[in-house]
Amino acid sequence: MAYDIEEVRRKYIGFETAKTHGRYPVEHDPIRRHCHMVDDNNPLFIDPDHEGGALCPPSGWLAHYFASLGPWPAVFEPLFPIVPTPGKRIVNMSQEVEWSAHIKVGDHLSVVRRIADVFQKGITIDPEAVWIVAEAIITNQRDEEVCVVRNTLLTHRTPEEVAAANANA
Amino acid sequence: MMQEQVNWDEVDIGDELPEISLDITTRRLFLQASGAQDWYPAHFDPAFARKAGHEDIFMNTGFVQAALVRLITDWMGDGGFLKRLAFEMRRQHRPGDTMVCHGKVTAKKETDGAALVFLDVWAENQREGIATPGEATVILPRAPASEG
């Protein structure tokens, strides 16, 4: 059946997930690992004895991790596996994070995900690539909004999948 | 080591943030997997990446974001607050590259009692030039004598 972008847009734009809660609280060691991948030795983030308490660095990625991506077993979790797309390969093309409050070690984060836009725009290797603009609204245990993460995701087919689809057309 | 605190009053348009440089080595790839917990194979499996149409594996969004966040937080000090960060993953940072992050003050203003500084930030490498352009908004403390 042919992919119908207008049907997908009608069905999914504005869709919002139920709030999900991170399994673990914001913890020191995932913060340390996150900081050390870029040689970030800021005591505000990695010193458990920092005066006033350690903070989570203002990374939307890490906030999202604590709100939803932390549980084991490790599974790559596309932000919106529910949106049907011709291709299953994903590239995150841009991200915007707006912060309202610090995240502290010990906080419990939750997330609501919302689909802001879905559109089709071809790329060199896939003329039917589909782009998804996804928002994640992250809150703490007091239900205070700490940040909103906005991702623009490109989903596409492999060159082999494109060739196979063209051969069958 | 305490981070040195910069005040809004001391910042001038055109000021440059101290750059940070990260070599994308094999060790760094393992640190990325550990630090970002991103198991999408395009970031560590060359065969998967090439089958998807990429030339090689490439660093993920979490890694690039963490580098830009470090650039900004190292500069703004513990008393600063990163209000907004937006960036585009236009080109890739790959093994063998040296990723260098830069930032520059583009504007400053006070709104509703918040002393805002606007930045251009970007990550570049020797193959692609500016691969990740972005912009940020930071709230800085006022110098003590300037506070009402």
Strands (E), A100-161: 110-120, 130-139, 145-156
Q: What is the pLDDT of residue A89?
A: 85
Cβ within 8 Å of residue B145, ≥6 positions away:
none
| Residue range B116-143: mean pLDDT, rounded | 97
| Gap between the Cα atoms of B97 and B58, Å rounded | 10
H helix or E strand, kind and range, residue B49: helix B46-51
| Other CB atoms within 10 A of residue B94 CB | 20
Q: Which chain A residue has the Cα nearest residue B40? A: A76
Q: What is the ipTM of this complex?
A: 0.92
* Distance to chain A for B10, nearest Cα, Å: 22
Q: Which chain A residue has the Cα nearest residue B90? A: A93
Share of chain B above pLDDT 70, in %: 96
Q: What is the pLDDT of residue A69?
A: 62
* Distance to chain A for B16, nearest Cα, Å: 19
Compute and round to an integer the Cα radius of gyration of chain A. 19
| Residue range B133-141: mean pLDDT, rounded | 98
| Residue range B56-81: mean pLDDT, rounded | 96
From first CA to last CA, the distance across chain B in angstroms is: 30
- For A75-101, what is each residue's pLDDT tens digit? 445 545 578 899 888 888 899 999 999
pLDDT of B65 above 60: yes
A159 touches chain B (CB under 8 A): yes
Q: What is the pLDDT of residue B140?
A: 98
The alpha helices in chain A, defined as continuous H runs, are 5-12, 28-36, 43-46, 60-64, 159-168
A27 touches chain B (CB under 8 A): no
Which one of A44, A61, A149, A151 would you mutate to disrupt binding with B, by most B Cβ within 10 Å of its Cβ?
A: A61
- For B71-86, what is each residue's pLDDT tens digit? 999 999 999 999 999 9
Is B36 close to A98, i.e. CB distance below 8 A? no
Q: What is the pLDDT of residue A74?
A: 46
Regions of chain A short of the pLDDT cut 70:
1, 69-81
Q: What is the pLDDT of residue A70?
A: 58
- Mean pLDDT (chain B) is 93
Q: What is the pLDDT of residue B29?
A: 93
| Residue range B8-28: mean pLDDT, rounded | 97
Specify the DSSP class assigned to residue A19: P
> Is the Cβ–Cβ distance between A114 and A157 less than 8 Å?
no
Q: What is the pLDDT of residue A3?
A: 87
| Gap between the Cα atoms of B55 and B91, Å rounded | 12
